Amino acid sequence: MEQSAGTRGEAQRLAHLGWPFFEPAHARLAGEAARWAAGALGEWTHDADADAVCRRLVREMGAAGWLAHAVPRAGAGSARLDLRSICILRELFAFHGGLADFAFAMQGLGSGAISIAGSDEQKTRYLPAVARGETIAAFALSEENSGSDVGAMAASARRDGSDYVLDGAKTWISNGGIADFYVVFARSGEAPGTRGLSAFVVDAGTPGLSAAERIDIIAPHPMATLRLTGCRVPAGNLLGAPGEGFKIAMRTLDVFRTSVGAAALGFARRALFEALGRARERRMFGQALADFQMTQAKLADMATAIDAGALLVYRAAWTRDVAGESITCQAAMAKMQATETAQKVVDAAVQIHGGLGVVRDHPVERLYREVRALRIYEGATEVQKLIIARQLLEAAARGGEGAR
Ligand code: COS
């Protein structure tokens, strides 16, 4: 029986699970998830109904237990997120398809602020259903004039008795339109800039919340602009204390930015896998494409870039999981390096495929569309550079050697 892309070369693709960053349970998780993904995920095309695909994937990933790795158990003594497991699963799901990675990751990002800052009651109310794939979560931070500059946020939250009233617009909201709840960041005004923001859980269907404006992007995903018009939420939906919203957002992003690097690795590994297959099969000028040194140079660069990205991603994940240290700088390095090089790896795979590489819905054409947004979302490469440099300069000012 012919093997799918998911199972062919599996041992080689999972070889890095032998690195000292991992425990035996991680290798088991990766093997099980790779086999499940190869059998259960299925295929979808550019024209597929992305909303329907995501709803199905969330349900199936919840039922299979994978989402529980992105959403810690709720309640007292709740489990910590294991970032290495999240990264392993994002790599594997991204290898299969962008929407699979998206469906998995957005459950984690969308509920991440609740995991990090929610009360036990809020965690119990929201997290178990997200982990089971019964409800869909979304993270609503960006605005038209406040993407990189979060402190410039304009959406407002005004206290009124036992409620907050939210007004404004949030955009580029993944899962917008299909989410059951949104974690919305808004200016509550305790102080100017980043110190005056708060985070709220807003259930879909709350009067004054609309996710009607859908955004069509290069690799279709559920995405929308949210409008908040006199949207009233109980004060019990505030996450953490008033004015803590910016720090809650940044702590959430510290975790999920590392995992964006892992998704980039998954795309890059798939690109290398497809490129190796094509280079060995395709004949020209009396020999295989793989016999040309120019092809070999490309393959060597691709494989090296993937390993370099993986070392940074799993260093950051290990540092958080095992050393228990802040990974702001390491996460920024991992995201920047892995996403920037994945773009180059995917581009090289398209080049190796020649004309086939730009045929709609060819695996490498899909990768070419999927990989682009990763250098922008959850902090563009330019923001990651800012973060890294600030950390270095702060450490230098303190007399340390560096913040890594
Ligand atoms: N964890 C905890 N606290 C953090 C933090 C982190 N990772 N990063 C910053 N903070 C704290 C700072 O310590 C500072 O605290 P004090 O007010 O007590 O001094 C406060 O938050 C403000 O930080 P800073 O001065 O660095 O804020 P800036 O406005 O300069 O913003 C950047 C910094 C640009 C790094 C930030 O706005 C950012 O990450 N932007 C990109 C946002 C993004 O990813 N958008 C995409 C949305 S999801 S698709």
pLDDT tens digits, one per residue of 173-200: 999 999 999 999 999 999 999 999 999 9
Specify the range with the lowest mean pLDDT, choosing from 33-47, 169-183, 203-217, 296-310.
33-47
Enter the DSSP assignment of 240: S
Q: How many CA atoms lie within 13 A of 293 on its CB side?
A: 0
H or E stretch at 181? strand 181-187
* Active-site amino acid positions: 378
Atom of ligand 1 nearest to the CA of 141: 47
Q: Are 90 and 104 in contact (CB under 8 A)?
A: yes
Q: What is the pTM of this model?
A: 0.94
- By the 10 Å C-beta count (0-12 exposed, 13-18 middle, 19+ buried), 107 is classed as buried
* Smallest CA separation from ligand 1 atom 3, residue: 247
- The Cα 52–Cα 213 span in angstroms is 17
Task: Say what the pLDDT of residue 385 is.
Answer: 98
Q: Which residues line ligand 1 (CB under 6 A)?
A: 141-142, 147-148, 150-151, 194-195, 246-247, 250-251, 253-254, 328, 377-379, 383, 386-387
- The Cα 84–Cα 348 span in angstroms is 28
How do residues 361-401 score in pLDDT, each as one tens digit?
Answer: 999 999 999 999 999 999 999 999 999 999 999 999 998 66
Asked if residue 334 has pLDDT above 60, the reply is yes
Asked if residue 402 has pLDDT above 70, the reply is no
Residue 6: pLDDT band by 50, 70, 90 thresholds? low
Task: Say what the pLDDT of residue 2 is.
Answer: 43
Q: How many CB atoms lie within 10 A of CB 264?
A: 34
